[in-house]
Amino acid sequence: MQSLWDDDEAAQCRGDLELRVYTSRLLGRDKTLVLHGGGNTSVKVVQQNLFGEDESVLYIKGSGWDLETMEAAGFAPVQLDYLLRLTQLDALSDTQMVNQLATHMLTSSAPAPSVETILHACLPHKFVDHTHADAVLAISNTPDGERRMRELYGDAVVIIPYVMPGFDLARLCAREYPRQAGANTIGMVLLRHGLFSFGDSARQSYERMIDLVARAEDYLKRERAWDVPARAVSPARIDMLQQAQLRRTLSVAAGAPMIMATHADAEALAFAQRADLGTLSQQGPVTPDHIIRTKRVPMLGTDAHAYARGYQAYFDEHAPRAKEPKTMLDPAPRVVLDPGFGLAAAGRSAKDAAIVAELYRHSMQVMQRAQALGGYCALPARDLFEVEYWDLEQAKLRKTGTPAPFLGEIALVTGAASGIGRACVDALLARGAAVVGLDINPAVETIYRRRDFLGLRCDLTGEHAIGLALERAVLAYGGLDMLVLNAGIFAASRKISELATEEWRKVMAINLDANLFLLRACHPLLKLAPGGGRVVVIGSKNVPAPGPGAAAYSASKAALNQLARVAALEWGADGIRINSIHPNAVFDTGIWTDEVLAQRAKHYGLTVDEYKTNNVLKTEVRSRDVAELAAEMCGPLFAKTTAAQVPVDGGNERVI
């Protein structure tokens, strides 16, 4: 491990707080030190209050901030002298501690101070850094971790036994640090938790952290426990429907839909195919911070219901001993390991699932290094239970607001690169869904760069291409809940007597056949949707009221409408509902080129502007209008509606 300190960059910082921000970001850039909001940093300063008096203040990283993207606004300023008085108390409940921290901040708009604020305050150093360094955890999480730590660091660090984060840990550190620290002390190890470093300057504290972690890495190398040996890996065996069934099982156990990403790379497969996986993976997380972020210890195999029953039994056994009632967190695993598919990471959103996967990849490294060093040894089950049902975590649950309606669900939209399809993607993303967008236009792959969108170039007239796209969708998100059939073409206006067979067949292939292929391929996935499958067909006004010169388009949309009605009859028993929208004159779409628009306006003897608002309400219908209704049809308002046909046309006299 190397220091990332740069003199030129540091020279741009003005004052201690900006230097604190700078070194916090340096720590955050190294994922072997901190991950996704883990770890924290602080600085003690003296500043004047409104009365011109000097006041000692602790600036500590606030909750919800990530070290990698830290800013000055992310630090909570707390009165230092008051924090030091708190360390003298014999006891302080978590709720009392949170209240005392909040009521002694100097800025009301600052984020909530870290739960380790009092611990930072009691360390007699200006700058304090705290990480969950992988190398340190690998040594600490062994049966003789304390002995190894003392052998490695000597009097350079203070060793603190595991205590759950909060006031009790701060009070223990306040007592033990003065007793153990000496002239050579530059850090503190919290066994099975993390590493502290400190100093008189931001650079000193940061580089002491780098030095201590580098020593741990060198120790692992000397003990031949650093490099995870390459293993022969059997090829992945992934069945799309089995993954969708697993995602459904996890969702049922969680009590809400879940996103599940499957990772079948060599690293994941090698870990999942270990002979000792049953004991190695089932002990628990490498640090209590990881269980807070993943909400569940990993699970072996794919029987999530059995796991849920086992955890519920553990909860029933231990919960009555608690002083206050606890809210039962969902019993669904967030990590599933299987020698066939590798690693599946689940979360309430695509971002959550990605965080779980990254956390567990680091855990895999730690566990395997610890195993090579002397055997991986996690916290006892009781300690894990106490962290997971911690009062502060309970408070977070109680504060959780109403989630987005489609959080944890997956939608597939065809013709997603533009027009109504693009608007449907936006509407579904805004409601919390993860969205797979298909389009023959390669631009679909780059319209968004975010974890909850997967754009795939796909020729929908090819059944094989559709199958490959669905496999990628299931690997990325775990299944399918909603399908929006939007892709289509509108050929140039042509009388039947002039309609070429090839043109007819092209329109039918895209507007009808491709949708049959999609419906047929998606049906088994939609059956497994935790909240029931939903299909929305983007039809056309031409279904109830065809226009001259649009024979191929009108016939294809009418046939698609009938296909949807039959599917509604056949799939109702599977909990799948299918509804249709019939838009008209939506001109901000790909099929309405300037040439086609001019042709149709001329055909009716209207100007282009007159043609755009040629409806009862004299209003222009846009893609977003159609998309919002499509999204609502997938929501609870239409939970008991299937085979409906709803116009979005401003009112058409021929339809009315």
Exposure string of 306-334, with b = 16+ CB inside 10 Å and e = fewer, is ebbeebeeebeeeeeeeeeebeebbbbbb
CB 247 within 8 A of CB 479: yes
d(CA 65, CA 41): 11
CB 406 within 8 A of CB 433: yes
d(CA 246, CA 304): 8
Cross-sheet strand order for the sheet of 259-263: 259-263, 342-347, 335-338, 299-300
Within 8 A by CB and 6+ apart from 564, the residues are 535, 537, 539, 578, 580, 643
Please report, for residues 147, 260, 268, 408, 530, the alpha-carbon distance to residue 336 in angstroms, rounded to integers and kept in the order given.
33, 10, 11, 17, 18
Cross-sheet strand order for the sheet of 40-48: 75-79, 54-61, 40-48, 127-131, 194-199, 187-190, 157-160
Within 8 A by CB and 6+ apart from 341, the residues are 236, 237, 238, 243, 262, 264, 272
Q: Is 553 a catalytic residue?
A: yes
Instruction: Tell the burial category of 180 from Cβ atoms under 10 Å away from its Cβ (0-12, 13-18, 19+).
Output: middle
Residue 410's beta-bridge partner residues? 434
CB 439 within 8 A of CB 457: yes
Within 8 A by CB and 6+ apart from 367, the residues are 141, 280, 281, 286, 376
Q: Which amino acid, 53?
A: E
Q: Angle formed by the axes of helices 391-399 and 94-103, to 10°? A: 70
What φ, ψ does residue 249 adopt, rounded to 5°?
-65, -45
Token duo for residue 622: 């846009």
Say which DSSP state 190 is in: E
d(CA 254, CA 151): 44
What φ, ψ does residue 234 adopt, rounded to 5°?
-75, 145
Query: Beta-strand (E) ranges in 500-599?
Result: 534-538, 577-583
d(CA 359, CA 352): 11
Listing DSSP states for 485-501 in one string gives: E-----PPPB-GGG--H
> Cβ of 365: how many Cβ atoms within 10 Å?
20
Residue 60's beta-bridge partner residues? 42, 76
d(CA 114, CA 67): 13
The catalytic residue among 360, 376, 477, 553 is: 553
Please report, for residues 411, 436, 463, 629, the alpha-carbon distance to residue 521 in angstroms, rounded to integers and kept in the order given.
14, 15, 9, 25
> Any idea which residues carry the catalytic annotation?
553
